Structure 1
């Protein structure tokens, strides 16, 4: 299944075991590998790719001709199966068509929900032997590399091409420059503030998901579902903490707004004590309507309860829709639906993959061409329909995306704000993210609001 977070709660202690592999003194990287991954693979969406030619105004080259002797481009990623592999294959096919003279060495690192790749990258960067580029979450996740002066400013060499600065909205652009300068190129967006639902279940219960105005109101809707049907109110997994951590972030966002959400990511925990504790209390109320086996199943097994009509609601990133698209007879808007998580209308909560530009680059010219291509219409039109994600560019045609992703594209283009994921480390730096994960593990273990709040308060110290 998809790029989610299954089994990716990695402690800071585990991460620091690899710190000795690098050059002494690069202290800015001491926590850059926090868990919270994006590495299960989804069932496929559209099988087609597009031949978009020179879409997006990118620089043209004549196939078979070369005016530059490029070094081999080495790209490391964790897309080794499922939708991710189909998407990255389409991406490199398009790149080969545009730059046939650039030899590409895909050097994927499988396993660990992306954690294995992150460990490899940290060692290589610390030893001044990075690949040409690699798959990485942007935003605060890259801050340690910026602090250690390991990433190159690509504002003029890459972001000035293909109309990128005009085609990307502010949220993705901000994530691409964690230190104030462009250092990476986001290639996709997975939305986090989704509430999926089984249409038959909610209709039988007399519940209208679009009328639920805020997260606290969802409690009564789930109660009605359980009173009127045999389904549970909300499917979830609590075997690992990430699903509930992600859910809590949407509750905070929907109940208390963007400003409070951003304030939390800035470490202003005590100033927002009541909002944070109340949001935890709301999620604790949700627990009463989870499936009884939440503590022993995966998120994909929880999602099957929506498909099978055993649950009304499910919160997850939009990778969950890959399962629905892959299920015969389970069609969008007839069997299943989606609304923005209550209270988050007009906001698009971002998780993204990107490709950064390291210093000491073994193939700087080839890397520059690859990053320019990743920021183009053609690349994003090839990659995202297969990945089950949407493009960060707002000028990519919707023809290949299907009805659900097309609507997500509209929501993104028309959004008033885009906020970065806490769970995936786009919004908070790695050490704080590791501490956040430990606090949420405490929460799902005992559902103790006060104890969890105290750990969240300490997470940014």
Structure 2
């Protein structure tokens, strides 16, 4: 990604502007994002309305595809053509790489005026800063390691949401015996990787997750613990229905809502789907962390502000940045999206029990050193390394590959990707 990003940015006329520069023009912003499903679409609409209320012209540029891989291709093409959008939904190491390539503006003036350093956890600041300067705006915090369950379906086999992987397997076996799909899943590589990293966290624990998926320790990647991870993944493959290939994640969530499946492992953007359908947490569905040693897998959406020309675009970026991290929008957006605010001082009164649990668990994980970036969702890894993890995880999930062969391939793939 780094080399390609530099090449792309070389094709663009780099204009010395900052997103916070004063301008007299009416604010305008073309926004490239991949929030296209029910709860996500409502969240985007809230930002559009807030931007319009400030006199802004919003140019919507959605790219369907859930995990953002399709959008990344569109972004590269746009930058190569010398026509980057003003604001782009982007996250994790990708922010740092685009900043290193000189493609992003400087949001320091807005950040200083709004005291971002005082309201953002250090872990979030590290994601959206480059060389000490803000180059992106965090919208939210998602927890990835969630189980979403239909309590009525679980009750049919006398079960509750499992708290260990052994319990998960026992419950899934009972559900299958009763003719119920245990796990709603979409057969897309990023979804396979989402399940994979929660299993890594649960089987290996936070220290193992950090060594294997963050630090890329070869001993950890080639260990017996990683073999046990793939053993569990083989079991997970047996708990999904035959029609899972190619299914979008929100359609898998709908299976749980309709009672066609008992559980789904997915980040808390799934909660936005339940909310959009009028479902009530604790009644129509249950949320619980996937089994682990109190780990928390972090995903955070941000908008990076790309270098653009024109006072209207520059002003639009400044207005967007101010709105995105304002307390009002942080509350409104995250209530729709199913996530929690990136800033820590947003009132909790309107948030449901799942969100409050997420807030509490994130604080506890940060204090305990178990707050970890998601590999599958481009916080811990991006580019070729993330791709190597996903390729092996999905190849194993969709074949009869042995756990030992999967581990051997993983070690080889990560070595080549670095």
Residue 180 of structure 2 corresponds to residue 231 of structure 1: yes
TM-score normalised by the chain length of structure 1 = 0.75
The match for 1:246 among 182, 194, 200 is: 194
How many residue pairs match? The answer is 396
Hey, what's the Cα distance between the residues in 2 that align with 1:252 and 1:147?
Answer: 31
Hey, what's the Cα distance between the residues in 2 that align with 1:361 and 1:306?
Answer: 47
Residue number in structure 2 paired with 1:86: 42
Hey, what's the Cα distance between the residues in 1 that align with 2:106 and 2:410?
Answer: 33
Residue number in structure 1 paired with 2:28: 73
Residue 216 of structure 2 corresponds to residue 262 of structure 1: no
Hey, what's the Cα distance between the residues in 1 that align with 2:9 and 2:121?
Answer: 36
Residue number in structure 2 paired with 1:139: 92
Q: Which region of structure 1 is more displaced relative to structure 2, 86-95 or 108-117?
A: 108-117
Residue 155 of structure 2 corresponds to residue 199 of structure 1: no
Q: Which region of structure 1 is more displaced relative to structure 2, 74-83 or 378-387?
A: 74-83
Q: Which region of structure 1 is more displaced relative to structure 2, 68-77 or 183-192?
A: 68-77
The answer to whether the 8 A contact 1:143-1:429 is kept is no
Residue number in structure 2 paired with 1:306: 256
Residue number in structure 2 paired with 1:168: 120
1:396 CA drift (Å): 1.4
Hey, what's the Cα distance between the residues in 2 that align with 1:139 and 1:432?
Answer: 13
Unaligned runs of 5+ residues in structure 1 are 1-11, 27-58, 60-66
Hey, what's the Cα distance between the residues in 1 that align with 2:342 and 2:386?
Answer: 24
Q: 1:177-235 CA distances to partner (integer Å, 9 max, x unpaired)? A: 3666432111123321101222123334333426x2x43442233234445x4423323
Q: Which region of structure 1 is more displaced relative to structure 2, 435-444 or 114-123?
A: 114-123
The answer to whether the 8 A contact 1:130-1:361 is kept is no
Aligned runs of 1:27-46 on 2, under 5 Å? Answer: none
Residue number in structure 2 paired with 1:355: 303
Question: Which structure features the higher share of helix residues?
Answer: 2
1:354 CA drift (Å): 1.0
The match for 1:380 among 330, 352, 355 is: 330
The answer to whether the 8 A contact 1:193-1:317 is kept is yes
Aligned runs of 1:55-454 on 2, under 5 Å? Answer: 68-70=23-25, 72-78=27-33, 79=35, 82-97=38-53, 99-100=54-55, 103-113=56-66, 114-126=68-80, 129-136=83-90, 138-154=91-107, 156-177=108-129, 181-209=133-161, 212=163, 214-227=164-177, 229-238=178-187, 240-263=188-211, 264-274=213-223, 275-295=225-245, 297-327=247-277, 330-345=279-294, 347-359=295-307, 362=310, 363-416=313-366, 417-448=370-401, 449-454=403-408
Hey, what's the Cα distance between the residues in 1 that align with 2:293 and 2:255?
Answer: 24
The answer to whether the 8 A contact 1:236-1:243 is kept is yes
The answer to whether the 8 A contact 2:120-2:343 is kept is yes
The answer to whether the 8 A contact 2:149-2:256 is kept is yes
RMSD: 3.3
1:279 CA drift (Å): 1.0
Distance 1:120 1:173, change over 3 A: same
Unaligned runs of 5+ residues in structure 2 are 14-19
1:252 CA drift (Å): 0.7
Distance 1:165 1:403, change over 3 A: same
Q: 1:348-371 CA distances to partner (integer Å, 9 max, x unpaired)? A: 322222111334554445423421
The answer to whether the 8 A contact 1:140-1:429 is kept is yes
The answer to whether the 8 A contact 1:234-1:290 is kept is yes
The answer to whether the 8 A contact 1:132-1:361 is kept is no
Distance 1:234 1:118, change over 3 A: closer
The answer to whether the 8 A contact 1:260-1:272 is kept is no
Hey, what's the Cα distance between the residues in 2 that align with 1:161 and 1:215?
Answer: 47
Q: 1:82-109 CA distances to partner (integer Å, 9 max, x unpaired)? A: 3333322322332444x44xx4342414
1:172 CA drift (Å): 2.0
The answer to whether the 8 A contact 2:11-2:79 is kept is no
Q: Secondary structure at the match of 1:160?
A: helix
